[in-house]
Chains A and B, each alone.
Chain A
Amino acid sequence: MAAQLTLQAPLALPPQEVGDYLQRLWSTELEGSKGASTFTLLIYEASWLQQQMVRTGLVDGPITGLLDRPLIERAKAAVSECGLPLSTAVMDQRLSWALGQRQGSHHSDDLRGQFIDSAISAHMPRRLITLAPTLDGGRPLETLVSAFCPLIEEGAAAAQACGDAVVLRGGLGALQGNLGLIDALVESGLPCWVWWNSSLDEAPELLEALARAGRRLVVDSSLGVPRRCIDLLVQRIQTGQAVNDLNWMRLRTWRESLAMLFDPPSRRNALEHVVQLDIDVEGDHPLKGLLLAAWIADRLGWHLVSSFPVDGDGAGTGVGAEFERTDGATVQFRLMPVPVGVPRTHPGAMVGLRLVCAPEGRPPLCVILCSESGGCMRLEAGGMASMELLEDVVPVPEESEEMELARLLGGGHDTTNPLMVAAVQLAARLLPA
């Protein structure tokens, strides 16, 4: 987990001295070391859940900002202890809010920004800047500086470039009051990634200030109010900024599994005759399912006629929509929230997908994709006896956010993936107002 080799212990410095110190660090103290000519990674690392769990004594510290398995398991137990629905994902901000209502004053070391995942350090960031807001909103700003080198693995080339890590820790007010310092720390001339590793509902001014034009933004649209998340994505994409959404990236296996079923040319014709698309998601966060539906609709050239809320049969509110195919026929779409006993880590995870195609002169084709972690009883229920049935199980890779982020850092683009652009724009229209 902590694949970091610090060349020095993190050094606490007055904020105004950080810039000069870093300059000295590379020019004198680390003379001969190679500073990576790579990129700056600016992380907003709120870790409210971990902070609350440490404060309430549910887990021991230190606070690292990393979601490890013991933390997730303990958080799952806390869901029911807090009286939340069992389908509540541990990253759902209602959990950290509920924990925030509990008594507790446990303290632990706050090491956010000092534990660097090996997947990220392998890309040799030139500078890691971590903004670590504290539960105490009035806490003044502390700045910590250290240099690090990636761990050299056996058999790997020895010449690794080093970087430095800066942590700015304090209340939100203190962070917002030092935006000038943050901007000065971003290496000019190198690409800058901004990873908003928290809910998109919080600190909109800070997000706006950090995610300036030209910086590559990484967000997670599963964290926050769905309408706010999707609107933010649309707005950011419209500015021309490179936007990456971890929620969209987690759809990769679903998109691949669905595409795979239609790789044989003999089945492709069926894609022109889709009449019904149903998607089930965990809990009441529909964005991931909507992004998948929007991707399918965009790829198949469907035109959105209308969208509307539908009754989720006691499990919340779903989304219904009507599309028009390129040949004028209608496609019915339903996204339904379903209760699950063991939810995934992030809100709104995919449970299943059903695509019904009715090619002329051939029996209807029903495609059902089901998450390997759950059941698809609702989608498999009835009406398919006369159809050709294709069923597949979609693997759910257990990858951390850091792994997903590393995938982006490994070969970044300065534009947004066009497939995501189209899906986001359509998903924003699909989500009922």
Chain B
Amino acid sequence: MGAMLTNPLRVGLRQERVISPQCLVIFGASGDLTHRKLVPALFELFRQRRLPSEFAVLGCARRPWSDDDFRARMAEAMASDIAEHRTAWEQFSACLFYEPVDLQDPPTVVQLGERLKLIDRQRATRGNRTFYLSVSPAFYGSGCRALAAAGLLADPARSRVVIEKPFGTDYASAQALNKVVQACAQESQIFRIDHYLGKETVQNILVLRFANTIFEPIWNRNYIANVQITAAETVGVEERAGYYETSGALRDMVQNHLTQILALTAMEPPGRFDPESMRNEKAKVLQAARLANPDEPWKCCVRGQYAAGGAAGRPIAGYRQEPGVNPDSTTETYVATKLFINNWRWQGVPFYIRTGKRLPKRLSEVVLTFREAPVHLFDAAGGAPTPNQLILRIQPDEGADIRFEVKAPGSGMRSRPVDMAFSYDESFGEPSDEGYVRLLADAMLGDPTLYTRSDEVEAAWRLYTPLVELMEESPQQLPVYPYEARTWGPAAADSLLADDGLVWRRP
């Protein structure tokens, strides 16, 4: 008999935190994110019995749909998910509602307030509301203003608003947006989402560091030589050319996702695991971070753009040949940069960050390379001893490896590196929840621990301001090097490390 696919004893046990009665209001309900991520995540929460029976989802968009239209469209988009859980879908879809709302049209927002009161009565949702702005970033500020003007954010204990990325396009715009949303609601009501923080393995960085005593004593400049953070994608720009042309890899990945990973990797231990303690430490470490050469930022950053590549018979188009992309585009699809963190723990330790599209592998990882042993007593089988490494694999094959030297078999005393591996699959054997499941649940629980606070967002933008300014004011100083699709980025990115006598880890 084959091994069971799931652990039958595990079913139904993940009920540690149950969401309070409430109504989740999704603006942009006719958009992709709603049926691709949000409603599937809510359905998953429903199937895990983590949603109370006093619950409702109110989809809002400009289209004149009815409740039944909304339900039917969600059912159509999620047909494959629903097929195996038809009864559960019947129950869940009864809590889906729809209201035509234009956030730029105040009367419809007032009407929304009336509809919410009605839903409170119908579903006993107790006036608790989470507003999810899945709309164009241009409408984040005006959307919050409209909600506030209609009195829908007046009760800080019962209303909160979730804002998708990107939160601003640079330091100034992020500051301005923060001012607008903070004028509409208290900071405790504002949930700036970064879906990377919903990943189990990103959260595991915290557990690994702060639930064990073996790592923290060596998690500093005395033992760690450098840190590499990589997020590599094999896909190209796909259907997002319109957005990506105005964004690029720095804004799309580095300022938010990779900088959040940097913060979790480098932050000090919080006094306790509560939202403010956590976010205080993240903000502090981001405020202490700086580019390796802030006055000459072109020396610590390399930009690239994928060119045509691929094997014979399976050619891959270059970025400039992608539909919707300017044939002369200078948008970067690859960026690598070097940072330092000016504090007692990390002074002098370089942090290298890179991300790119059309790279050879899809993976995200954090690699901490330790200092070499002070004296090499043994010959290394590979010529030189490999420094110890701790590799945190965020995706795929989630887990962690520790690389260290052991005696190679044989009569001599030669050393060679081996890996001690932890794999989520082998230890837990079940896929972890999609990031949105965790983050939506947290927002509805009013737990902002995994959401970014205003000062974090601003610190992250401030960190990259020299690069953003250079890209806009003097792009020729930060050229976009072409790299062949399915290679590890432009050669200049290797030079960034070669100058320090290092190489990128080839996963």
Contacts and interface: CB of A to CB of B under 8 A. Distances in A.
Contacts of B8: 271, 299-301
A266 B7 CA distance: 11
A14 interface: no
Contacts of A307: none
A191 interface: yes
Interface in A387-433: 407, 410-415, 417-419
A266 B425 CA distance: 10
B158 to A, nearest CB: 7
A268 B54 contact: no
A159 B53 contact: no
A38 B124 CA distance: 7
A300 B1 CA distance: 14
B426 interface: yes
B188 A259 contact: no
Contact of B53 (A123, A415, A418): A415
Contact of A259 (B3, B13, B18, B155): B13
A161 to B, nearest CB: 8
Nearest to A124: B126
Interface in B37-90: 49-54
A189 B121 contact: yes
B332 interface: no
A208 interface: no
Interface string B1-27: 111100111111100001111000000
A265 interface: yes
Given A265-B429, A413-B52, A259 B1 contact: no
B19 A268 contact: no
A223 to B, nearest CB: 24
A255 B14 CA distance: 11
Contact of B9 (A258, A327, A410): A258
B127 interface: yes
B381 to A, nearest CB: 31
Given A191-B54, A269-B1, A37 B127 contact: yes
A411 B9 contact: no
Interface in A25-66: 36-39
Contact of A256 (B4, B13, B53): B13
A263 B121 contact: no
A419 B49 CA distance: 11
A263 to B, nearest CB: 5
B13 A265 contact: no
Interface string B320-362: 0000000000000000000000000000000000000000000
A259 B54 CA distance: 30
B11 A419 contact: yes
A160 B3 contact: no
Contacts of A191: 54, 124
Contacts, number: 100
Interface residues of A, number: 42
B7 A268 contact: yes
A382 interface: no
Interface string A323-346: 000010000000000000000000
Interface in A241-282: 252, 255-256, 258-259, 262-266, 268-269, 271-272
Given A157-B188, A160-B157, A263 B7 contact: yes
Interface string B108-147: 0000000000001100101100000000000000000000
A5 interface: no
B242 interface: no
B53 A262 contact: no
Given A189-B121, A412-B53, A412-B54, A299 B9 contact: yes
Interface string A151-195: 000001111100000000000000000000000000001110000
Contacts of B126: 36-38
A78 interface: no
A269 B20 CA distance: 38
Interface residues of B, number: 38
Nearest to B425: A265
A272 B1 contact: yes
A304 interface: no
A296 interface: yes
Contact of B18 (A39, A157, A300, A407): A407
Contacts of A300: 8-9
B124 to A, nearest CB: 6
B19 A259 contact: no
A417 B12 contact: yes
Interface string B143-174: 00000000000011110000000000000000
A159 B127 CA distance: 12
A272 B121 CA distance: 48
B121 to A, nearest CB: 7
Contacts of A189: 121, 124
Contacts of A160: 157
Contact of B21 (A265, A296, A411): A411
B188 A269 contact: no
A268 B4 contact: yes
Contacts of B21: 38, 411-412
A160 B12 CA distance: 32
A271 B11 CA distance: 14
A255 B49 CA distance: 17
A124 to B, nearest CB: 8
B428 A264 contact: yes
Nearest to B2: A269
Nearest to B55: A411
Contacts of B157: 156-160
Given A411-B19, A414-B53, A263 B13 contact: no
B213 interface: no
Contacts of A256: 13
Residue among B121, B158, B425, B429 with most chain A CB within 10 A: B429
B155 to A, nearest CB: 5
Interface in B396-443: 425-430
A412 to B, nearest CB: 6
A410 B429 contact: no
Given A37-B127, A159-B157, A271-B4, A296 B429 contact: no
Nearest to B120: A37
B1 A327 contact: yes
A247 to B, nearest CB: 17
Contacts of B12: 417-419
Nearest to B127: A37
B427 A263 contact: yes
B59 to A, nearest CB: 22
Nearest to B155: A159
B458 to A, nearest CB: 23
B460 to A, nearest CB: 25
A130 to B, nearest CB: 22
Contacts of A36: 126
A410 B18 contact: yes
Nearest to B51: A411
Contact of B4 (A159, A190, A269): A269
A413 B53 contact: yes
Nearest to B8: A299
A181 B21 CA distance: 28
A329 B73 CA distance: 48
Given A265-B426, A327-B1, A299 B11 contact: yes
Q: Interface centre among B11, B52, B425, by most A CB within 10 Å?
A: B52
A191 B158 CA distance: 19
Nearest to A259: B9
Enumerate the 4 nearest inter-chain pairs by beta-carbon distance, A residue then B residue, closest first.
Answer: A411-B18, A157-B157, A265-B429, A259-B9
14 contacts: A37-B120, A37-B126, A158-B156, A159-B156, A256-B13, A262-B7, A263-B429, A264-B429, A268-B4, A301-B8, A327-B1, A411-B51, A412-B52, A412-B54
Interface of A: 36-39, 123, 156-160, 189-191, 252, 255-256, 258-259, 262-266, 268-269, 271-272, 296, 299-301, 327, 407, 410-415, 417-419
Given A262-B7, A412-B54, 4 more contacts: A258-B9, A266-B3, A411-B51, A413-B49
